[in-house]
Amino acid sequence: MTDQVQVHLGAGIGNIVLATPLLLGLHKSGFVTDVVLAADYPETADLLRPWSVVREVFTHRQRFPDGKTYSYTIPGIPPFYWQRYARLFAGLKNALSRPPDALFYQNEQAYYWSFARRLGSQSERPCYTLPITSTFSFDSSQGTLVLAPGCKTGEMAAKRWPYFSKLADQFDDVTVVGTSDDLQQPNGEPINFSRHVKSFIDQLTLRETAELIAGAGAFVGNDSGLSHIAGAVGIPTLMIFGPSPDQTLGRFPSNVRVLRRGSPCEPCWFGSRFRSCAGRIDCLNELPVHSIVSVLSGLGWIGDDQIEMRDPDLTL
């Protein structure tokens, strides 16, 4: 009889995407896997449906099977949410022990993968991925640059690079995705895009957004869930990092590039947060537009049929 595994995952979109190598590893080892999501956004479940490596996806707002009916229960909830859900695993003899919290903050993907190792996986850890392709329902093509200017709110908004509208002005075929909140800078100022930019702000479900991204030519975003979706669906992806770390997330797929200004104080997220720059977030505010264009060129996306430089002055 095939062993059945219940995997509990949680937190943001990016955290769920970074855990997909675990699901792939369990499938390769022959397990039948159900997933229970304690996700910040319930729509995150739709990113895993349908997928051959997962039998069923539940959310904590739904009624899901008793963990005792599984051969193993994997408590893959990130440490910063663990106290909210620890009681669900109390007394479950089939629950695997959790790795040290420190591993999560050293290499998040390795943290999730450690559960696969516990269940006998001997394979190399795969890159994260999502089972999503373009449905051609949206006006995006290999000449489309998709921009996601937002990320979570509150202190997390300090991860937002401030020059997305200037970047959009350099390209003819640009689409913006996200929510209306994503069109605000950390200081509350609005982000205004030129009229040629196609906006799908507040118009799509999360799954539809992923399908639109999958049909585009390239993607640029902050350290955010949408950026990890872009990386997971396989298109050329540029992630802009500043105060938050990237190396602690683990290995990125080959289609992903990380760009930083390279300030000596970055990343400061797990240290003296924002202290060195007195909260100015210099690592992002001083990262110029031409650096983004240069990386897009290095990704092999920019060609004569894909870009018309509208402004030769790319100092910002």
Question: DSSP string of 99-110?
Answer: PPHHHHHH-HHH
Nearest to 73 by CA among 7, 1, 2: 7
Q: Are residues 109 and 152 in the same domain?
A: no
Please give the pLDDT value at position 316.
Answer: 53
40 falls within a domain = yes
140 within a domain of the structure (yes/no): no
Q: Which residues of the chain have pLDDT under 50?
A: 304-315
In this structure, the answer to whether residues 175 and 70 fall within a common structural domain is no
Return the pLDDT at 185: 84
CATH number at residue 45: 3.40.50
pTM tops 0.85, yes or no: yes
Same domain, 79 and 176: no
Rounded (5°) CA angle 81-184-282: 80
Q: Does residue 42 fall inside a structural domain? A: yes
- Alpha carbon distance 222, 89 (integer Å): 34
Whether residue 29 is found in the same domain as residue 98? yes
254 shares a domain with 189: yes
Predicted confidence (pLDDT) per residue in 93-143, tens digit: 999 999 999 999 999 999 999 999 999 998 899 999 999 998 767 777 788
Q: What is the number of domains present in the chain?
A: 2
Identify whether 304 is part of a domain: no
| CATH number of domain containing 247 | 3.40.50.2000
Q: Are residues 59 and 153 in the same domain?
A: no
pLDDT score recorded for residue 310: 45
Structure tokens that stand for 139 in this block: 């006006």
Q: What is the pLDDT of residue 307?
A: 45
Q: What is the pLDDT of residue 302?
A: 66
pLDDT at site 274: 92
Give the model's pLDDT for residue 186: 79
Domain range for residue 13?
A: 4-118
Structural tokens at position 52? 């051959």
Same domain, 159 and 68: no
288 and 173 in a common domain = yes
What was the pLDDT predicted at 313? 45
Placement of tokens 């983004």 in the chain = 292
Structure tokens at 25: 């590893």
Task: Decide if 206 is inside a domain.
Answer: yes
Per the CB < 8 A criterion, the answer to whether 241 and 221 are in contact is: no
Task: Judge if 267 and 179 occupy the same domain.
Answer: yes
In a domain, 136, yes or no: no
Same domain, 226 and 84: no
Same domain, 247 and 164: yes
Residue 236 belongs to a domain: yes
- What is the Cα–Cα distance from 247 to 222, expressed in whole angstroms? 15
Q: Is residue 127 part of a domain?
A: no
Same domain, 33 and 155: no
Look at the alpha carbons of 282, 284, 285, 291 in this order and tell me if their dihedral is positive or negative. Answer: positive
The single residue listed with the structure tokens 């006006």 is: 139
Place of tokens 């396989």: 234
